[in-house]
């Protein structure tokens, strides 16, 4: 990552991130040594003071920015020095700044420009006249300008000379770093975003209607409105601009530039000021402000999308169930996929219960037969095309059974992308695309994380405007979220796909594939040590990944825990001290004994840090612990609900499908998800909906209003008052 942390950068990061300098130094040192963020967060708690993945990544990102800042400072100082214009004051000013934008402002006067009006005027020898005007002498500017008339240089009159001088002054003002800074600040704090309809006929669904005639203070506009306005402008539907406090800015510029308002030069200086602002400064500042607003809005959209993906990945798995996956369709028929408790495909079939064929009885007989034959306990129905008709059919079929079988609506966003991918073709070479979808839907219910990692997260469909943001930044952030989720849960090395393994700390796609090849070749791994033989899995990679890889039912009981092999000697010493063996892990007797331990005393005695000791105790107490089990499971259903069945005040259970800045969309079992507006999430003020709800969460809601014509459902999570 580069140079050591200098004192100024360290102090800055301490304040911004609310983290101690010692922790920052340790994190940077660990990253420099090639350690991954999940590894540092999980296995280097003593060194970092227990910082989590997000805090470590914040340190990494901020340090990268500060390094770029330092590099740019060096480069700008070098470039100005090469021109022979570097002064001690300028060097000090450059070294003092803390933002890349401020460096660019200081560098602006020295930047090699394309030919401008000012450079042309300078070539004509008019710079001395510009400086003369700025001195505001008592002589007449027209008289002074006569000396600069030169037909060879195309300065034909006094007016030509003065115009060239004004062009030079305008550029000088535009290049003034202090002036640009306060103009930018005044524009941001007092300016307005203004939008109007440009080609409203193209907006058939009136998506941008509220922006046909709209204005709002720049400082108040929220991220999702910035992105909506940008999209409307990009599609040619809206015209977007900034209304600036021009009069205020003009008067401030005059006060700074004109020292004697009654001087003969004052009228010419005013004209130069007006030209500088209108032609050079205002358009540039507008671009900068809109760029900054867009950057902030994109960061917010990326954050929302990332958090929603994290919640989706960490949804509780439905373990130990044989599942019937149903991919709904009309003409091509519903594809059925039966998978056993481990996700292995047992049966594939197509039925036609929906129009145009509507073979309801024949289809019902097939479903009942499969349920009996494979002892199916639950059906997972995709929420795509024909979902509600298929749900109606499944619900009616299940009612006829003499045993209890429930069903779940599964969000199938991205399933079709996966089904047509090379990963799916490799996994199921003999299945058709739709058949793969049915299997994927069933597996999403059994283990959302293991299935969703096979899909490009951008196709999962949780968030707002994720397709309008920087795809590079989105990809980086999503990669981090997926990696964090996978490593928090841990991975069974004997069942994981290559798609899942590649997100394990330290593993690349190639090494993940090599693990699969070895497993296929020699069978299940019996212990973690065997992974050292995998091609391209060297000592550093082994150190980074091994604690996150679990070997269940192997010959080393500790390998099924999150305890790192580097801590095995200490763990075995602890077990011996308590009178137990590794084979006893997970037993009630050991758990009881561990509960009564004095952490400080044991830590000193065995020379194990307290954070690591806590993790060892956790691993010995719950060896197969899955953090996702703490979250609410899916809503199991036995009957179908239509929009017409809804009435104001009706209480329902629903699953949060998406969280956005203005609220949350909740699936309550009808065709359309209902919106719980941010003001209806709770009876207290909510700044961020994510503080209250997350994707996949099961919530109790009440129907606020239903608009069947517009297919809109308004919900509330605030319980109605009794009586």
Where a domain ends, among 583, 609, 630? 630
Q: Is residue 130 part of a domain?
A: yes
Q: Which residue has the tokens 């096979």?
A: 454
Pair type for strands 345-351 and 334-339: antiparallel
Q: Is residue 635 part of a domain?
A: no
Tokens encoding 313: 């990945």
At residue 640, the pLDDT reads 64
Q: Which residue has the tokens 């981090």?
A: 480
Q: Find residue 713's DSSP bridge partners.
A: 706
Q: Is residue 306 part of a domain?
A: no
Please indicate, yes or no, whether residues 505 and 574 belong to a single structural domain of this protein.
Answer: no
CATH number at residue 122: 1.10.3500.10
At residue 3, the pLDDT reads 52
CATH number at residue 348: 3.30.420.140
In what helix (H) or strand (E) does residue 675 lie, and over which residues does it extend?
strand 674-677
Pair type for strands 334-339 and 712-716: unpaired
Radius of gyration of the chain (CA): 33
Q: Is residue 412 part of a domain?
A: yes
237: containing domain: 117-301
In what helix (H) or strand (E) does residue 705 lie, and over which residues does it extend?
strand 698-707
Cα three-residue angle 678-682-687, rounded to 5 degrees: 45
- Is 324 in contact with 378 (CB distance < 8 Å)? yes
CA 291 to chain CA centroid, nearest Å: 19
Q: Find residue 213's DSSP bridge partners.
A: 196
| Number of Cα atoms under 13 Å in the Cβ half of residue 16 | 16
Q: Is residue 597 part of a domain?
A: yes
At residue 414, the pLDDT reads 78
Quick check: bond before 201 cis, omega within 30? no
Please indicate, yes or no, whether residues 156 and 290 belong to a single structural domain of this protein.
Answer: yes
Please indicate, yes or no, whether residues 220 and 72 belong to a single structural domain of this protein.
Answer: no
Q: Is residue 721 part of a domain?
A: no
Please indicate, yes or no, whether residues 158 and 262 belong to a single structural domain of this protein.
Answer: yes
Q: Which residue numbers in the chain have pLDDT < 70? A: 1-5, 461-464, 638-641, 722-723
Spatial CA neighbour of 370 closest among 432, 448, 438, 416: 438
Q: Is 551 helix (H, G, I), strand (E, B) or coil?
A: coil
Give the predicted TM-score (pTM) of the model: 0.82
CATH number at residue 528: 1.10.150.310
Enumerate residues 6+ apart whose C-beta is below 8 A from 409: 381, 382, 383, 387, 391, 637, 667, 669
CATH number at residue 25: 1.10.10.650
Where a domain ends, among 480, 495, 515? 515
139-196 pLDDT, tens digit each: 999 999 999 999 999 999 999 999 999 999 999 999 999 999 999 999 999 999 999 9
Q: Is residue 638 part of a domain?
A: no
- Is 341 in contact with 321 (CB distance < 8 Å)? yes
Please indicate, yes or no, whether residues 370 and 405 belong to a single structural domain of this protein.
Answer: yes
Please indicate, yes or no, whether residues 212 and 346 belong to a single structural domain of this protein.
Answer: no
Please indicate, yes or no, whether residues 143 and 228 belong to a single structural domain of this protein.
Answer: yes
Please indicate, yes or no, whether residues 472 and 367 belong to a single structural domain of this protein.
Answer: yes
Spatial CA neighbour of 184 closest among 77, 268, 293, 93: 293
The span from the CA of 238 to the CA of 212, in Å, is 7
Please indicate, yes or no, whether residues 189 and 248 belong to a single structural domain of this protein.
Answer: yes
Q: Is 508 helix (H, G, I), strand (E, B) or coil?
A: coil
**Gap between the terminal Cα atoms of the chain:** 64
Q: Is residue 373 part of a domain?
A: yes
Enumerate residues 6+ apart whose C-beta is below 8 A from 623: 557, 560, 561, 585, 586
Where a domain ends, among 630, 658, 682? 630
Please indicate, yes or no, whether residues 599 and 670 belong to a single structural domain of this protein.
Answer: no
What total number of domains does the chain contain? 5
Please indicate, yes or no, whether residues 357 and 390 belong to a single structural domain of this protein.
Answer: yes
Please indicate, yes or no, whether residues 395 and 532 belong to a single structural domain of this protein.
Answer: no
697-721 pLDDT, tens digit each: 888 999 999 888 778 899 999 988 7
Check the CA dihedral 483-485-488-490 and report its sign: negative
CATH number at residue 708: 2.40.50.140
In what helix (H) or strand (E) does residue 550 lie, and over which residues does it extend?
strand 549-550
């Amino acid at each position: 990552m580069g140079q050591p942390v200098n004192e100024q950068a360290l102090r800055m990061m301490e304040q911004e991130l609310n983290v101690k300098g010692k922790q920052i130094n340790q994190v940077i040192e660990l990253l420099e040594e090639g350690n991954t963020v999940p590894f540092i967060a999980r296995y280097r708690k003593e060194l970092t003071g227990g910082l989590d993945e997000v805090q470590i990544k914040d340190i990494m990102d901020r340090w990268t920015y500060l390094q770029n800042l330092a590099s740019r400072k060096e480069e700008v100082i070098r470039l100005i020095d090469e021109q022979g214009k570097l002064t001690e004051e300028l060097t000090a000013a450059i070294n003092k700044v803390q933002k890349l934008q401020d460096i660019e402002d200081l560098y602006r006067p020295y930047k090699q420009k394309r030919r401008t009006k000012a450079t042309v005027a300078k070539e004509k020898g008019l710079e001395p006249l510009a400086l003369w005007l700025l001195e505001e002498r008592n002589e007449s500017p027209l008289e002074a300008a006569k000396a600069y008339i030169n037909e060879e240089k195309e300065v034909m009159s006094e007016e030509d000379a003065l115009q060239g001088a004004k062009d030079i002054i305008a550029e000088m003002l535009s290049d003034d770093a202090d002036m640009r800074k306060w103009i930018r600040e005044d524009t941001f704090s007092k300016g307005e975003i203004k939008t109007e309809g440009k080609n409203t006929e193209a907006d058939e669904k009136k998506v941008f209607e509220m922006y046909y005639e709209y204005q709002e203070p720049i400082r108040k506009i929220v991220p999702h409105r910035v992105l909506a306005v940008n999209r409307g402008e990009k599609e040619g539907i809206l015209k977007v601009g900034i209304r600036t406090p021009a009069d205020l800015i003009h008067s401030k510029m005059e006060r700074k530039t004109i020292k004697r308002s009654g001087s003969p030069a004052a009228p010419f200086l005013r004209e130069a000021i007006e030209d500088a602002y209108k032609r050079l400064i205002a358009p540039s500042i507008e671009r900068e402000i809109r760029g900054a607003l867009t950057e902030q809005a994109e960061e917010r959209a990326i954050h929302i999308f990332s958090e929603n993906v994290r919640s989706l990945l960490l949804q509780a798995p439905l373990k130990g169930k044989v599942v019937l996956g149903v991919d709904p369709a009309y003409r091509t028929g519903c594809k059925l996929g039966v998978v056993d408790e481990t996700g292995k495909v047992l049966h594939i079939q197509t039925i036609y219960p929906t129009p145009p064929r509507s073979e309801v009885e024949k289809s019902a007989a097939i479903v009942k037969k499969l349920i009996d034959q494979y002892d199916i306990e639950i059906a997972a129905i995709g929420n795509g095309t024909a979902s509600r008709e298929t749900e109606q059919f499944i619900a009616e079929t299940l009612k006829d059974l003499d045993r209890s079988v429930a069903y779940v609506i599964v969000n199938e966003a991205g399933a079709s992308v996966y089904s047509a991918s090379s990963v799916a073709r490799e996994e199921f070479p003999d299945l058709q695309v739709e058949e793969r979808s049915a299997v994927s839907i069933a597996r999403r219910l059994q283990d959302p994380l293991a299935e969703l990692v096979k899909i490009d997260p951008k196709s999962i469909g949780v968030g707002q405007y994720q397709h309008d943001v920087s795809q590079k930044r989105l990809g980086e952030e999503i990669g981090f979220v997926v990696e964090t989720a996978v490593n928090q849960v841990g991975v069974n090395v004997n069942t994981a796909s290559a798609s899942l393994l590649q997100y394990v700390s330290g593993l690349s796609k190639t090494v993940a594939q090599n693990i699969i090849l070895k497993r296929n070749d020699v069978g299940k791994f019996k212990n973690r040590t065997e992974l050292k033989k995998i091609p391209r899995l060297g000592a550093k990679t082994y150190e980074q990944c091994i604690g996150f890889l679990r070997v269940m039912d192997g010959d080393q009981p500790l390998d099924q825990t999150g305890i790192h092999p580097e801590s095995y000697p200490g763990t075995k010493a602890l077990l011996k001290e308590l009178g137990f063996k590794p084979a006893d892990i997970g037993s009630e007797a050991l758990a009881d004994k561990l509960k009564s331990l004095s952490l400080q005393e044991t830590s000193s005695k065995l020379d194990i840090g307290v954070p690591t000791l806590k993790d060892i105790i956790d691993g010995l107490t719950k060896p197969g612990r899955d953090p996702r089990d703490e979250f609410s499971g899916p809503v199991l259903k036995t009957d179908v609900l239509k929009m017409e069945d809804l009435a104001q005040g009706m209480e329902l259970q629903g699953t949060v499908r998406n969280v956005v800045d203005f609220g949350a969309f909740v699936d309550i079992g009808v065709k359309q998800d209902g919106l719980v507006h941010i003001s209806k999430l709770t009876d207290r003020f909510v700044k961020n909906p994510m503080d209250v709800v997350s994707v996949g969460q099961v919530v109790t809601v009440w129907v606020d209003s239903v608009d069947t014509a517009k297919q809109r459902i308004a919900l509330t999570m605030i319980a109605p008052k009794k009586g």
